[in-house]
Amino acid sequence: MNVSTAVFYLIALITVVSAAMVAFSRNIIYSAFSLLGTFMGVAGLYVFLGADFVAAVQVLIYVGGILVLILFAVMLTHRITDVEITNRSAGTLPALLVVGVLAYLLIDAGLETPWAKAKQLVYEATAGKIGDQFLYTYLLPFELASLVLLAAMIGAVVLSRKEIKE
Amino acid sequence: MSPNDLSSYLIIGAIVFALGLFTVLTRRNAISVLMGVELILNSANINYVAFSHFSSGNADGQIYAIFVIMLAAAEAAVGLAIVLAIFQLFHTIDVEAAETLKD
């Protein structure tokens, strides 16, 4: 087993174990910090898949933006000194059953289906190619994305401001 | 399982998806439900990028992954703003507390 395979196993383990911590931890702070492991692990998987730009975007937006937002919301909505269980869960057994069957079916489908194979695996810088595609093939979705982000920003500001009554 | 095998990425994606779905189904804390949604979006992204690398050989899947990341950022911003508004109104973020619409 060479080094890159070992690193791949390590990254896969970090991703899955952190996701399990998010799902099963009884303290919401631990859940939120475990999300960091999942996001970084997924970024590592992107590097293994030759998607350097997506990996960088994942680290910048998920770890730098979304995770900070989630921690911010956790800290604002919980009194940290409370020792009680902050992350209640209900209906665990039926959910475990449904999710287990679904995971089995997904893994089975992934292993059994004869997926199309690319002629060769390419490992090259993707940022230029993605930038070209954004400004040719995907120009309309790209512009719509900026509109969506503007609408989300205005919506978040409107929702979270204090109501001032006359 | 090896780094040069599509199925290993599909297995990781399926496991992360199942754990995210489990989080969404069982948690009673609104922020935890949003964390589960983020896990599900991440698992979909793993599959997009894996198929883009192993099956199609072009960058289309990576572009879809970037769009998903963008929508996840918008979703997190609006979702957490809604959670904070619910907290101001009900002084709790238990999702069962915010069911006054059905009365």
**Per-residue pLDDT tens digits for A111-157:** 998 888 888 888 888 899 999 999 999 999 999 999 999 999 999 99
Q: What is the pLDDT of residue A86?
A: 59
Mutation pick from A24, A54, A108 vs chain B, by most beta carbons of B within 10 Å, is A54
B6-102 is a CATH 3.30.465.10 domain: no
pLDDT at A85: 57
B13 pLDDT higher than 90:
yes
CATH 1.20.120.1200 fits A1-105, yes or no: yes
Banded pLDDT at A80 (limits 50, 70, 90): low
Q: Say whether pLDDT at A74 is over 80.
A: yes
Is A116's CB within 8 Å of B55's CB? yes
Encoded amino acid at A31, one letter: S
Residue B75 has pLDDT above 90, yes or no: yes
Distances from the Cα of A106 to the Cα of A103, A111, A120, A150, angstroms: 5, 9, 26, 36
Q: How many CA atoms lie within 13 A of B27 on its CB side?
A: 26
> Which phi and psi angles does B94 have, rounded to 5°?
-65, 130
User: What residues does B94 pair with on adjacent strands?
Assistant: B29
Please give the DSSP secondary-structure letter assigned to residue B97.
Answer: T
A19-41 pLDDT, tens digit per residue, is 999 998 888 888 999 999 999 99
Q: How far is CA A12 from the centre of its chain?
A: 14
Q: For chain A, give the secondary structure using H, E and C.
A: CCHHHHHHHHHHHHHHHHHHHHHHCCCHHHHHHHHHHHHHHHHHHHHHCCCHHHHHHHHHHHHHHHHHHHHHHHHHHCCCCCCCCCCCECCHHHHHHHHHHHHHHHHHHHHHCCCCCCCCCCCCCCHHHHHHHHHCCCHHHHHHHHHHHHHHHHHHHHHHCCCCCC
Any A CB within 8 A of B93 CB: yes
- Mean pLDDT, rounded, for A66-77: 88
**Structural domain boundaries of chain B?**
6-102
pLDDT of A84 strictly over 60: no
- B chain contacts of residue A151, beta-carbon cutoff 8 Å: 74
Residues B3-27, mean pLDDT to the nearest whole number? 91
Render pLDDT for B39-67 as a digit per residue (tens, 0 to 9). Answer: 999 999 999 999 999 988 788 899 999 99
Domain boundaries, chain A: 1-105, 124-166
Locus of tokens 């979006």: B41
